[in-house]
Amino acid sequence: MSLNESLIEQHDALMVALQADETEQLERLLQEMRAADIAEVLEHIAEEEEHRQTVFALLATLSVERRAHIIGYLPEDLQEELANEMSDETLLSVLEEMSADERADLFNLLDEDRREGLLRRMAKQEREDLKRLASYEEGTAGAIMTSDYVAIPSGMTVSQAMMRVRQTAPDAETVYQLYITDTDGRLAGTLSLRQLMVARPGALVDDLMIKDVISVDVEAAQEDVAKMIARYDMLAVPVLDADARLVGIITHDDAMDVAEEEATEDMHKGVSVGKLEGGLRSASLFELYRKRIVWLVLLVFANIFSGAGIAYFEETIEAYIALVFFLPLLVDSGGNAGSQAATLMVRGMATGDVRSRDWAKLLGREVFVALGLGLTMALAVSVVGVFRAGTEIALVVAMSMVLIVIVGSLIGMILPFILNRLGWDPATASAPLVTSIADASGVLIYFALATAILGLPGG
């Protein structure tokens, strides 16, 4: 049974039990399900306003620990609403059970007064830790790191370190990577639990640890952290502040979430959709409108250039109305080839496959590929062209096709690099943007060629 099917079954069973008010059956179902799955089902149920209270009631039947775990998987708006429903006592106990990074995220959703009130009721160390984790800007390493790691003071023996691991095990996000710190809290080295387990109990961790540690700065971009974890196959990466002090770690599972989020963002950018906070399903109608309209309207104005181009060649068009048949086809072809080139480039840059020094070489190759594409498409369109509009127009269309595809491809290939140089995200070189530029060029190429080859009746 696929993940999808089993989830739908669980969802349906839960809904049936819910509507029939079968409390025992409900509790049994929730017991069996995993936190991530409960969260998804609850999110679905909560979409209907009238079921929200039921969701809150359901969660309240679970243990604080389990509730804390599930809440971490819920979308932000639901987390916020849930927190607002809870008393300070309940919220405090839930926060305490959450992992440090998720706790800071939830905390940041609360309003100022509530945050102040909660902080006052926390122990000093807990308060400091939370304030610190909650203070980093979204999108940075600091905002996704956790403080639940195993720090081993420099100078410990293997058996002392082992004891420390056992003590920390219940709370740490991972116990499989140990971080050795000096008296100032600076990261001296790392040691895997695997290495620790096969070492002589009396040996010093300092003699065993790896000193050439891969680490990230607390202000590094989260996508760079994810890339680094993927590149070096790491379980977790240590996060250092400006003084090289260890302030947190980021684990592989959070890196995977970031990578997925970034890929989604890049795909959306590729069609000029702005960043959605939740997914498509949870976004409000207005958010969807807002994130899609900006570029669409800009592109309307950009397209005025194509219109102006056409207006300039009005006489040619009047003389050879059949030219218009091929207009959408030709401009689309340039846009399509250009979008392909842009997407290949943008994704290549995002994954690190393409680096800026490869640019000239790739551009050179693209000329040849585009020439091949253009010639093939010209052949295809001239078959149609001869049949519909005669040899002369077919020739114009075929020649235009070759040029338009080459120009479109080169625009698609160059634009991401220019944007990158200007310090913009290359993913802004979206299909609609490339299409608009390719369109205007296409119109000019097509009608200029037509005017030159066919001539004007009066000319």
Work out the burial of residue 177: count CB atoms within 10 Å of its CB; fewer than 13 is exposed, 13-18 middle, 19 or more buried: buried
Give the residue with the Cβ less far from a copy of itself, 21 or 459.
459
DSSP state of 450: H
Separation CA 254–CA 142 (nearest Å): 12
- What phi-psi label fits residue 98: left (phi over 0), alpha (psi between -120 and 50 degrees) or beta? beta
User: Quick one: 123 or 321, whose CB is closer to a copy of itself?
Assistant: 321
Torsion of CA 200, 201, 206, 208, to 10 degrees: 30
Kindly state the smallest distance separating residue 16's Cβ from a copy of itself, in Å.
Answer: 15
Residues in contact with 240: Cβ distance below 8 Å, sequence separation at least 6, in sequence order: 187, 215, 216, 217, 218, 246, 247
- 149-178: contacts with a copy of itself (CB under 8 A): 165-166, 169-170, 175-176
User: Is residue 314 part of the contact set for a copy of itself (CB under 8 A)?
Assistant: yes
- Pick from 238, 270, 416, 426 the residue near a copy of itself by CB under 8 A: 270
Could you tell me which stretch among 53-61, 132-140, 151-159, 308-316 binds a copy of itself (CB under 8 A)? Answer: 308-316
Q: Using the minimum distance from each CB to a copy of itself, give the nearer residue, 218 or 234.
A: 234
Please list every residue from 40 through 99 that binds a copy of itself, using CB under 8 A. none
Residue 180 · residue 152 · CB < 8 Å: yes
The first and second tokens of residue 208, run together, are 């065993």
Binding test (CB under 8 A) with a copy of itself, winner from 329, 363, 386, 454? 329
409-438 residues in contact with a copy of itself (CB under 8 A) are: 431-432, 435-436
Nearer to a copy of itself, 85 or 224 (CB): 224
Out of 121, 260, 452, 457, the only residue in the binding site for a copy of itself (CB under 8 A) is 260
* Residue 146 found at the interface with a copy of itself (CB under 8 A): no
Distance between start and end Cα atoms, the chain: 73
- What DSSP character marks residue 284? -
Q: What one-character DSSP code corresponds to residue 147?
A: S
CB 378 within 8 A of CB 416: no
325 touches a copy of itself by CB under 8 A: yes
229-248 binders of a copy of itself (CB under 8 A)? 229-235
For a copy of itself, the closer CB: 128 or 257: 257
For a copy of itself, the binding residues in 331-390 under the rule CB under 8 A are 331-333, 335-337, 339-340, 342-345, 347-348, 351-355, 357-358, 362, 365, 368-369, 372-373, 376-377, 380-381, 384, 388
342: buried, middle or exposed (CB in 10 Å: 19+, 13-18, 0-12)?
buried
Contact of 399 with 382, CB cutoff 8 Å: no
| Of the candidates 419, 409, 426, 271, the residue with the CA atom closest to the CA atom of residue 349 | 426
Residues 24-43 that bind a copy of itself (CB under 8 A): 32, 34, 36
> Smallest distance from the beta carbon of 3 to a copy of itself, in angstroms?
6
The interface region with a copy of itself, picked from 87-95, 183-191, 201-209, 297-305 by CB under 8 A, is 297-305
Rounded to whole angstroms, the Cα distance separating 157 from 242 reads 29
Pick 247 or 330: Cβ nearer a copy of itself:
330
Taking contact as CB under 8 A, which single stretch among the options 57-65, 78-86, 100-108, 293-301 is the one that binds a copy of itself? 293-301
In the complex with a copy of itself, the residue whose CB is nearer, 29 or 234, is 234
How far is residue 138's CA from residue 381's CA, in Å, rounded to a whole number? 50
Give CA–CA dist 388/70, Å, rounded: 63
Contacts with a copy of itself in 180-239 (CB under 8 A)? 193-194, 197-198, 212, 214, 224, 227-235
Alpha-carbon gap, residue 407 to 426, rounded angstroms: 19
Instruction: Classify residue 386 by its DSSP letter.
Output: H
